[in-house]
Amino acid sequence: MGPTEFEVKDNSLTVTEEAKRSFEEDGCIIVRGLLSDLELHKVRKTTEDPGILKHQYGRPDKRGKEPKLVLWQHPGNDVTGMVARSKKVAETCQKLLGGEIYHYHTKLITKEPYIGGTFEWHQDYGYWYKYGCLFPDMMTVFVALDDCTRENGCLQVLKASHKCGRIDHTIVGDQTGADIERVQEILKVCDHVYAELKAGDALFFHSNVLHTSSDNCSANERRALVIAYNKASNDPGPHQKHPGYTHLDMVENSAILNCENVTDFTGKEFWAKQPQV
């Protein structure tokens, strides 16, 4: 059985007790229709701008296939920043984590038709632990910009695997992956779920949830906006990978459609190199 599903109604998302309980028990929830068609159009237009794509880099898997990434540290004031700062995204994460949160980073992940590669099994906290974050009080929102299917490499998760705690991670190809022997044991006891999403849907998941995605075997591109948050109380301070706590100015959900900035990415602080993230 897949993660519990909720939906945006009247451009608003209510974090119910059921949502909190599902997140605590399963480590993830699906939100259908997080972005409307009009919002999705604006986000796609922004993420297709050369000002973002010039920062794109590859992260080869163990077979040499390559998913593409762009990573930025701060949300900024463009349309993607409005998504990351919107109440239906940021405030939802704040309620699920139970305290003030701040933007940790955002990634634009692209799997091109036929050549977009795999992401190995990993936990996001498997990386972030090394960056000084003492607790896994962190989470990620995977927002589908295209339909995400088994054929084009949708996200796969192990439900409730966040309860296993942090797993040791090692280098796999040009990526960092969880100890595969441990993952094989966890696969025996946690449901392996293919999180197939329509464009505009989102998966909200805990930083210790084990997840992977296969290569894109289809003729369809698979893009996602992947937004990470940390609790303010878990701030490790400035690190060579991340700048540390910066107050997050949340905006009303209407700000996404009202934003006309699709080309000015001032203040986002893109990663120019190819760090393990």
- Residue 166 sits in a domain whose CATH number is 2.60.120.620
Residue 202 lies in a domain: yes
Q: What is the pLDDT along the chain (277 residues), one digit of tens a residue?
A: 889 999 999 999 999 999 999 999 999 999 999 999 999 999 999 999 999 999 999 877 777 778 999 999 999 999 999 999 999 999 999 999 999 999 999 999 999 998 888 888 999 999 999 999 999 999 999 999 999 999 999 999 999 999 999 999 987 666 678 999 999 999 999 999 999 999 999 999 999 999 999 998 999 999 999 999 999 999 999 988 899 999 999 999 999 999 999 999 999 999 975 545 4
> Positive or negative, the Cα torsion across 132, 135, 136, 141?
negative
Note whether residue 158 is domain-resident. yes
CA-to-CA distance for 55 and 40, rounded, in angstroms?
21
How crowded is residue 42: how many other Cβ atoms within 10 Å of its Cβ?
23
Contact 83, 227 (CB under 8 A): yes
Best CA proximity match to 153, nearest among 198, 217, 109: 217
Instruction: Report the pLDDT value the prediction gives residue 273, as an integer from 0 to 100.
Output: 57
CB within 8 Å of 12: residues ≥ 6 apart? 88, 253
**272, part of any domain:** no
Q: Is residue 65 part of a domain?
A: yes
Structural domain of 78: 5-231
Q: Determine, yes or no, domain membership for 195.
A: yes
Is there a domain that residue 138 lies in? Answer: yes
Q: Decide if 244 is inside a domain.
A: no
Domain count, the chain: 1
Q: Is residue 73 part of a domain?
A: yes
Q: Is 226 left (phi over 0), alpha (psi -120 to 50) or beta?
A: beta
Nearest CA to 203 among 138, 165, 148, 129?
148
Give the global pTM: 0.95
Q: Please say whether the beta carbons of 224 and 142 come within 8 A.
A: yes
